[in-house]
Amino acid sequence: MAKEQSKVSQIMRFLEHLIDLGFELNYVMIDREFYQAELLKDIKNLKGEVLIPSKSYKKINTMIEEYLQEIGERIRRYTISSAPGGANQFSQQLYLILKAKKGHFLSGVKQDFQKGKLTLDDARRLFYAVMTTQKPRGDKSSWASRPSQFYKKRWFIETGFSDLSRMGHR
């Protein structure tokens, strides 16, 4: 595939093939480089929910800062759009879920920041964000942990393969 060609159609054909084989799309986990509103919207149209790690965009960093300062919530709406000027314009609403990195808790990091034990930069580094197209439902805290657990499982698999490659077992 040419570098400048969109991979959206190729990915969609693969997902449709999986559906034809009888698979059900629950969560489609994609990497950061696939921040394409068109792809997310197409997956949503196939009744799949997208789970994607967030990039460190300024707006997302601001959301983390607002959470630390008790201005914002742990779960926030976030909209991505296709680049302006294209033939077709797409936008997709996502839900950004803030999580604390391993060994830390959201509330603990927030308290340490508010007590002055952590600087804003140090506190922000202890967070990561995951985004999903799935709307929150029920108890938001337990809802937020489900997509995050799926992402964490995917991350362990990916890093496991990397470790095997480094050790020469793959």
φ, ψ of residue 31 to 5 degrees: the values are -85, 170
pLDDT at 1: 47
C-alpha span between 54 and 34 (Å, rounded): 11
C-alpha span between 90 and 107 (Å, rounded): 36
Per-residue tens of pLDDT for the chain, all 170 residues: 444 456 788 889 999 999 999 999 888 888 766 667 888 888 999 989 988 888 788 888 999 999 999 988 999 998 887 766 666 677 888 999 998 988 999 999 999 999 999 999 999 999 988 889 988 888 887 778 777 776 777 666 666 656 666 677 55
C-alpha span between 149 and 132 (Å, rounded): 12
pLDDT at 164: 63
φ, ψ of residue 7 to 5 degrees: the values are -90, 0
Q: What is the pTM for the complete model shown?
A: 0.76
